[in-house]
Chain A
């Protein structure tokens, strides 16, 4: 998309991209670079697989597997990209700018699908809508044999992933529309635009970085997803990675494929960033005090029906199905252990979310202090973990950790023989879990914070500096209060994602540190989906609180 025409809100400025200006590295930039370097370690482990050529397997995959996978993956990205943008932006606009019955409820309820793992949504919707499900069975009983399109198809995967992932766009875009304020729309109307023109020519272009950030998160998660697509038996690049690893027994080939994925994501992210670099998106006027548009009765009914349909399909129906199953499973499975699963999940995700929010804030802030091409690349590298399939990233973290342990043990064994029984100092500790979570989910914290910082004018900074603020004081006293909604978004999004996270938790958790997500794994690995409903429901409930909190905070 080309840069939008200059409006009262978006003004051009000459790009000042001091390429690789090392001499001007500030403390912030050094810290940002260190963060990127830490993320680079597992990435480097993944790339190191190229040192062990897998010609035979790669040749086979390239000839018989990859062509279709690439096509499938591109369709999926396109479909989910359009799906989440349409759902997320339209719902965000309705909620931020319009008034209709039930809006106050939907404003937070539409975030709830965040807490629902996408593979659960997939399993439930396939169960309901496939040939053997109640919907088609009933239709057959009434109308006789029918040839209906299968839910287990490309369209079905796109539908489910769009329903599962639209909240990223909804949340971030809603913040954008709210902070734009009414002034921009009023200006547009005073220039003779109607509402539609105002929306497409002013509000939408002004919200572009936010929408792009939300869509980018959804697409990265789509690329890394394995659970949902394998429930559909829909082959994507990620299923190809796992095929190389689990079926063809070649972790190196899997890592090589993953590294191609990483390059693809970095190139896309940098291209997107370049496109929007020259435009500024500062807020005009005071935000949060706008009058909502009163919709006509017909339009209000439509807005209600649309919101209700999305809410029902993405959350209510799967939740009811889960509760039904969980009720049966609870009889045999629910006992005191669930307190510890619950506690472990909350603790690890809580510490993880706080770490992600802090690190993401530093990263976003560093870029703001001294924007440069170097910082752009640093940021993109630091946030690439979100697009790497979880199990591959888990190995990428585990290998260096095991290596460090080995060095430490060698060092300690020299002095103390009683530690001979020790097998590791780092691995199997919470530190490694939190480190791996941070590498994986930094993008989720970074996106809302980066978008939020863009809303703050440079003149605010200048004014504060004139008054003698240091950069830390500027952050603490000026930016943080404005950034509060973004910070809550970063915390809640990453928290919920960590609650649902499976492969990294499985690989790095300490002995006995089973969580709700690992409990889901225990059940689903032998296909006991109904049993898995119990921990799934617990994950959803634990995720609901931060989501609701976040939503009500975002309103203020």
Chain B
């Protein structure tokens, strides 16, 4: 046993040492975005530039804990995750470093990147209303806030408040309306629930389709995937908060994004990779592979996604979602939104 242990340690150390010495130009990525969403991009990048991208995936929480524990000895050059809340938290924990890049500033709208340049959005995820076409007319729908009124009593389905997408949405509402008003809206939602909150967006949409409730809030790519698998479901997308003249109007958006690790061993390589990911040729692949929206305005959206129509996004900086996330979670806990 002891000999085996020693053997394992020695072999591993030797292997690590050899690979470090023999390494070509390599960028190491810690990613909370799935392997199947990032690997095609990294393969394309290697093909184009010859730079090898090594990556490891995990949930964002453990990845941040890992970066922190490794400190200056981390192999990570790039930290990649979904949701501005997580990106904000990584910056807050001092795991990222600011990056000055004209390319990134040109490719990515200001509301989708960190004002302190520590992280950059790479795809946009819109959280919107999905309704049952048989029981709801689009003219019945208007805003996120309206779903809290009594006309939706017993007709609303929601995903759990433990999912960061809903936390970000409520965080943005706190920013727009202040806590008391946001609490009123969330209380209204909870009062209107037809059934206990669901564990995922898909189940909520299935419930809408089956008539258990009439409306729900989901990220559009879940809708795209579900409709692709079951084209006959009687559900459709509605873009809320579009009326002109509304303060802070627009559909709630969030990002998946990346930042350069504070202790990156190859910071130049890290920046080059992120810049490439924001470029026109990479953006289509990055967003389309998950039916998301590109951040780069010069890039056309996927035809499937384009068919859902265009919408005005809420232009608040997504960093606010991160800054107010714990406030939002506490608010939902107090109200009893499970």
Contact = CB atoms under 8 A, between A and B. Distances in A.
A230 B62 contact: no
A529 B37 CA distance: 16
B246 interface: no
Interface in B61-115: 61-62, 65-66, 69-75, 89, 92
B57 interface: yes
Nearest to A512: B54
Contact of B35 (A65, A126, A423, A522): A522
A231 B338 CA distance: 13
Contacts of B1: 355, 358
A130 B203 contact: yes
Contacts of B62: 391, 394-395, 503, 506-507
Contacts of A522: 34-36, 57
A233 B9 contact: no
Interface stretch (B11-19, B299-307, B309-317): B11-19
A236 interface: no
B244 interface: no
B162 interface: yes
Contacts of A521: 57
Contacts of A509: 56
Given A424-B16, A430-B12, A503-B62, A406 B212 contact: no
B199 A132 contact: no
Contacts of B74: 423
B329 interface: yes
Contacts of B326: 57, 247-249
Interface stretch (A216-224, A238-246, A268-276): A238-246
A464 B65 CA distance: 52
Nearest to A506: B58
**Main secondary structure on chain A at its contact with chain B?**
helix
Interface string A140-155: 0000000000101100
Interface string A463-477: 000000000000000
B201 interface: yes
A426 interface: yes
Interface residues on A, range: 35 or more
A232 interface: yes
B20 A422 contact: yes
Interface in B4-36: 5, 8-9, 12-13, 16-17, 20-21, 23, 32, 34-36
Contacts of B72: 406
Interface in A517-537: 518, 521-523, 525-530
Given A131-B212, A421-B21, A525-B34, A399 B59 contact: no
Interface centre among A65, A126, A131, A153 (most CB of B within 10 A): A131
Contact of B56 (A424, A511, A527): A511
A507 B167 contact: no
Interface centre among B34, B62, B225 (most CB of A within 10 A): B62
Contacts, number: 165
B56 A431 contact: no
Contacts of B200: 527
Contacts of A105: none
A492 B12 CA distance: 27
Nearest to B200: A527
B58 A425 contact: no
A402 interface: yes
B57 A131 contact: no
Contact of A429 (B12, B23, B36, B290): B12
B212 to A, nearest CB: 5
A233 B206 contact: no
Nearest to B8: A431
A509 B66 CA distance: 12
Given A64-B333, A132-B203, A526-B34, A518 B197 contact: no
A225 interface: no
Interface string A368-407: 0000000000000000000000010011001100110110
B325 interface: yes
A418 interface: yes
A406 B68 CA distance: 13
Interface of A: 57, 60, 64-65, 126, 130-132, 137, 150, 152-153, 230-233, 235, 239, 242-243, 245-249, 251, 355, 358, 391, 394-395, 398-399, 402-403, 405-406, 409, 418-419, 421-431, 434, 503, 506-507, 509, 511-512, 514, 518, 521-523, 525-530
The 5 closest A-B pairs by CB, nearest first: A429-B12, A423-B75, A402-B69, A132-B210, A506-B58
Interface of B: 1, 5, 8-9, 12-13, 16-17, 20-21, 23, 32, 34-37, 54, 56-62, 65-66, 69-75, 89, 92, 160, 162, 164, 167, 195-203, 206-207, 209-210, 212, 222, 225, 229, 265, 290, 325-326, 329-330, 333-334, 338
10 contacts: A60-B330, A132-B203, A150-B195, A233-B199, A247-B325, A249-B325, A394-B62, A431-B5, A431-B12, A511-B56
Given A132-B206, A425-B16, 9 more contacts: A64-B330, A231-B199, A243-B329, A247-B162, A399-B65, A421-B20, A423-B265, A506-B62, A521-B57
